[in-house]
Amino acid sequence: MLGQVERAVVGKRDALELVLAGILAGGHVLVEDNPGLGKTLAARSFAQALGLQFRRVQFTPDLLPADITGSFVYDQRASEFTFRPGPLFAGLLLADEINRTPPKTQAALLEAMQESQVTVEGSTFPLPAPFHVIATANPIEYEGTYPLPEAQLDRFLLRVSFGYPSAEQESQILANRVDRQREAITLEQVTDAAGLAAAQREVEQVSVEPTVQQYCVALARATRQSPQVLVGASPRGALALMLAARALAVIRGRDYVVPEDVKAVAVAALAHRVTLRPEMWMRQVSAADVVAQLLTEVAAPAPAPAPPAALRG
């Protein structure tokens, strides 16, 4: 799957592994970076490779909650109101530029992301399974954007940043475009909804030693005790660490988690759950910087002997 996505998104293996880990762990992923760095392309590429029913919503300042959840419309033939599902009813939803819509519409995603259902006019409708949201966002310093509410940020298992490519990678992007002689790129479908659900069940079988669980807890608690942090990560942050680390272990060919897996997902799992003190912004210190510093301060457990293999071989 990563090989297919890398045909479209060049040189971002680590970031793509995190996105895939978020999906395999059953969560939602926020891809936040500057315009033009492949956020939307990555989401579309994962949708093609995963073989899920794909919907895209372009979030705009005038988007209403009913535009994404659906609404009741009057059916003249049946002389009654019937529910018309919105784009949320998909296997994978691309919420493009999610921070360009007001908080009221952003909040309409909360129930869907947490409960896999939507409630419209008192009626509750379950969403298809599996259901995942890949949201893209530009930094809030750009004009016309709204900061995401903390409650919604907390519903994203991981927040990933791609960053600018190297000179060689940028040259490869241009060469690929010349070779295919068209803008669009079509990727092969690697799995489908049933295959993804089976992979997610395998992730649930990955073992996590008590010492590694305690390491996840220690990292989350360290964010609450840091003098640079106003509000630290909640217990959901420690849980996100463990869930994402299990999925990353599977991607790397193991059925058990090692501390390096936790370290690899720590910034993506914790940074968006941390609120810094106001003076940190003046010093140009980011939440990712704080989490990276904590990784050097919190002692990691010694690697334990590998448990019996369930996925290997």
**What is the chain's Cα-based Rg?**
20
Q: Which long-range contacts (CB under 8 A, 24 or more apart) does 112-118 make?
A: 112/69, 112/88, 113/28, 113/152, 113/155, 113/156, 114/155, 118/69, 118/70, 118/86, 118/88
pLDDT mean values, one per 10 residues, the chain (313 residues): 89 92 94 84 89 89 89 84 89 89 81 87 87 85 71 89 88 89 85 92 94 95 92 92 96 94 95 90 87 93 62 47
For 129-165, how does the pLDDT look when each residue is reduced to its tens digit (9 = 90+)? 899 999 988 776 566 677 777 878 888 999 999 888 8
**Domain 2-180 class in CATH:** alpha beta
Same CATH fold, 205-297 and 2-180? no
**Domain 205-297 class in CATH:** mainly alpha
Give the residue from 135, 163, 124 showing the smallest Cα distance to 55: 135
Question: Domain limits of the chain?
Answer: 2-180, 205-297
pTM value?
0.88
